[in-house]
Amino acid sequence: MANAIIVYDTVYNNTEIMAQEIEKGLKEAGVKVVVKKALDAKVDELKDFDAVVLGCPTYYDDLISSIKWFLTEMRKVDLKGKVGAVFGSYGWKAVLEHIYAPMKNIFGMEMVDPILKKKMTELITDEAKRDCREFGKKIAAKLK
């Protein structure tokens, strides 16, 4: 059975809602999933997963520091060929390419396209939640 880890952080829970829905989508597609906040996750454990999914909100045109640090540390692990995916909530302009680019270009991961971005105002809708579950299924499809 393929497995995935979702590592994310959040301040006002919008990115957490996304993580929960992506988790549901992955599980519905038969993937075993572990979900952790960045401060509780260790880069070493990533080697045990087929897919690594990172979630981060945008604050002050930037990633939040816990995710930046986790991403920087990820270089210590061989992630080449693993499936990667990126998501996050934002207000007006997300900066999630800063996560996507090193995953693809430095770590050599097989990325799910496009990045899943949801505006904070969208997340209360069933449609946005469904998109997140579909994103989970898309990650699962790339694992096959």
Ligand X SMILES: Cc1cc2nc3c(=O)[nH]c(=O)nc-3n(C[C@H](O)[C@H](O)[C@H](O)COP(=O)(O)O)c2cc1C
Which residues contact ligand X (rule: CB under 6 A)?
Answer: 10-15, 57-61, 89-94, 120
- What minimum distance in Å lies between the beta carbon of 88 and ligand X? 7
CB atoms within 10 A of CB 42: 11
Nearer to ligand X, 2 or 9 (CB): 9
Task: State the minimum distance, in angstroms, from the CB of residue 143 to ligand X.
Answer: 26
How distant, in Å, are the alpha carbons of 3, 6, 15, 20, 73 from that of 32? 4, 11, 20, 14, 24
Q: How far is the CB of 18 from ligand X (least distance, A)?
A: 8
Q: Could you give the angle at the alpha carbon of 58 between the alpha carbons of 32 and 55, nearest 5°?
A: 5
The CA R_g of the chain, rounded to the nearest whole Å, is 14
- Distance in Å, CB of 3 to ligand X, minimum: 24
Query: Is 123 or 143 the residue whose CB approaches ligand X more closely?
Result: 123
Residue length, the chain? 144
Closer CB to ligand X, 93 or 144, in the complex: 93
**Contact between 35 and 19 (Cβ < 8 Å):** yes
Indicate the residue among 14 and 66 with the shorter CB distance to ligand X: 14
In the three-class reduction of DSSP (H, G, I as helix; E, B as strand; rest coil), residue 35 is classed as strand
